[in-house]
Amino acid sequence: MNIFSQAYRLFEINRVLIRHNLDEMIYAIPAFRPLRFVYHLSPWNWGKKKENRAPRPVRIRRALEDLGPVFVKFGQVLSTRRDMLPDDLANELAQLQDNVPPFSGAEARDIIEKSLEKPVSELFKNFDEKPLASASIAQVHTATLHDGREAIIKVVRPEIEKTIRHDIDLMLLIARMVERFSHIGKRLRPIEVVEDYEKVIFDELDLGREAANASQLRRNHEGSPDLYVPEVYWDYCTPEVMVMERIYGIPVGKTQTLRDHNINMKVLGERGVEIFFTQVFTHNFFHADMHPGNIFIDESNPDNPKYIAVDFGIMGTLEPADQRYLAENLHAFFNRDYKRVAEAHIESGWVPAETKASEFEAAIRTVCEPIFQLPIKEISYGKLLLRLFQTAQRFNMEVQPQLVLLQKTLLNIEGMGRELYPDLDLWVTAKPFLQRWMDEQAGIRHLLKGAKENLPKFIEQMPHMPVMINDVIKQMHDNQLNMQMESQQLEQIRKEIKSANQRTVLTLSGSALLVTATLSNSIASQSTITWGVAAIGVLLLAYGLIKK
């Protein structure tokens, strides 16, 4: 990005900030406070009344929408970092809509033909140039394959990678300024946030990666009564184009429509929770973007409704240790075992090892007890987990990116569940699942599972074991011989050092006696004693030089 285009983009950003009365935020940075008079002297700020302005979070959301799709996506990602943002701003950013003006169907056709190296008429029986939906990274068209199957085609926006690179460079520039000049810069870690976003958005640009995610999730839920994942048509997939089965269903956000179809809302709410815990603890591969726009309901069996998921650009996984500590945290939460919550955080390394468990336990109790006094249907365990993360910040808890994704997913799932079935009790639904999972990790099931997983490796290595055992014995024997040789060598070195010390003492003593005799001869007349001293000196010196 050259200096002129960067300067022009900065000018555009500044114009949008002024339009939404956010330029005051620039002068709030300590380094720019001496220039605050410029803000008051600017003509566009004359006569503005603060009482007529929308709340700042609303103005920030609107500014991001005006700045374009890359900033909209950034705001959506930023909304998941509730460990760093005030609740009102995080809630407002979560409302950012990923709807942007579509690009032309002719451009979409060109991208498909260039990527798949065939004319659209040869690839599809029918292709609708009018987009079904348009988002910041890609847009969706409908088509029919030559065998009659209905499909959707996701096409990456033209030149989007260049646009993203330009805007991310600017974001990094702004982040460096905030981190350097703002007193809250080090706590917010803006550079880290932008770099995390850069990884997320460039991962979403690769539709081949998204197709692989969808395929894995479909395999995990094959035959499941809870969730349906559309089939990927791999013959038509590239990094720029993804083709998959077209699905039909009622958007999960249209609760009245669901009720009109007599959908069993209680079953639907509970199944959402079960899907979440199954993906996190059984499959360890969870859909991390389960907002209402990506979830539909199959209404064909109202008493036994099934979820349908789309958009698989953001998926999450956890390390086994994180899985275990998360399960223990949730289980201890539900049982109000605050001591175990504190211990699990320290054991996991999420907070420093020197943290006093008793102080951390007291802080957690202060947050949790008022919440647990509420009726069950008014308790949000997603928000409770969020409050815990925020409390842990006071104890220098390190932000865990994989837990941030999980927290976002839990909030989405619980929010949808309560919208569908307000009396949903997350604890009643989740407790049996968590208890069973923890038993499997520590009980006989875990032992049998480990044996089952490792048995093929053991059988594979059995023919080689005699040779391997012989090699181990030989190495042990060789090591013992080496140790004996090293011991003998050390003893020889010790003797040589001792002998050398003795020679040094004899040589120095002989030299001293010779010097004494020489001085005596120069001062007094020669005597038998002087010659005797000289003789002894010569003998000691000679013995010291020739002694081995």
Q: What is the mean pLDDT of residues 401-426?
A: 74
Reported confidence tier of residue 216, pLDDT bands at 50, 70, 90: very high
Active site annotation includes 289 = yes
Q: What is the mean pLDDT of residues 501-515?
A: 53
Q: Would you put residue 131 in left (φ > 0), alpha (ψ -120 to 50) or beta?
A: beta
Buried b vs exposed e over 353-367: b needs ≥16 C-beta within 10 Å?
A: eebebeebbebbeee
Mean pLDDT highest for which of 58-62, 71-75, 288-292, 480-484? 58-62
Least confident of 89-93, 254-258, 276-280, 399-403: 399-403
pLDDT value for 136 = 80
Reported confidence tier of residue 431, pLDDT bands at 50, 70, 90: confident
pLDDT value for 170 = 81
* Residue in the structure block whose two tokens are 């007529």: 52
pLDDT value for 525 = 47
pLDDT value for 100 = 74
Percent of the chain exceeding pLDDT 90 equals 21
pLDDT value for 134 = 86
Rounded to whole angstroms, the Cα distance separating 53 from 73 reads: 25
Residue 251 three-state SS: strand
At 352-372, the pLDDT tens digits run 888 888 888 898 888 888 877
pLDDT value for 523 = 47
Mean pLDDT highest for which of 76-80, 144-148, 359-363? 144-148
- Pairwise pLDDT comparison (97 vs 57), residue with the higher score: 57
At 173-188, the pLDDT tens digits run 778 877 776 665 565 6
- Pairwise pLDDT comparison (413 vs 276), residue with the higher score: 276
The residue annotated as part of the active site, out of 289, 298, 311, 322, is 289
pLDDT value for 151 = 96
Q: What is the mean pLDDT of residues 26-32?
A: 56
* Residue in the structure block whose two tokens are 């006093």: 356
At 221-248, the pLDDT tens digits run 998 999 999 999 999 999 999 999 999 9
Q: Are strands 227-228 and 306-309 parallel, antiparallel or unpaired?
A: parallel
Rounded to whole angstroms, the Cα distance separating 147 from 237 reads: 17
Residue 97 three-state SS: coil
Q: What is the mean pLDDT of residues 200-211?
A: 88
Q: What is the mean pLDDT of residues 110-126?
A: 94
CB pairs under 8 A, 24+ apart, for 103-111?
A: 103/134, 103/139, 103/157, 103/158, 104/129, 105/129, 105/130, 105/131, 105/141, 107/158, 108/139, 108/141, 108/153, 108/155, 111/155, 111/156, 111/158, 111/240, 111/241
- Pairwise pLDDT comparison (275 vs 521), residue with the higher score: 275
Rounded to whole angstroms, the Cα distance separating 189 from 401 reads: 13
Q: Taking the CB of residue 373, how many other CB atoms lie within 10 A of it?
A: 9
Reported confidence tier of residue 36, pLDDT bands at 50, 70, 90: low
Q: Is the pLDDT of residue 128 over 90?
A: yes
Least confident of 170-174, 318-322, 334-338, 489-493: 489-493
Least confident of 10-14, 274-278, 408-412, 456-460: 456-460
Reported confidence tier of residue 118, pLDDT bands at 50, 70, 90: very high
- Cβ–Cβ < 8 Å for 498, 505: no
CA distances from 419 to 252, 253, 255, 415 (A): 9, 8, 8, 6
pLDDT value for 532 = 55
Q: Taking the CB of residue 155, how many other CB atoms lie within 10 A of it?
A: 24
- Cβ–Cβ < 8 Å for 172, 191: yes
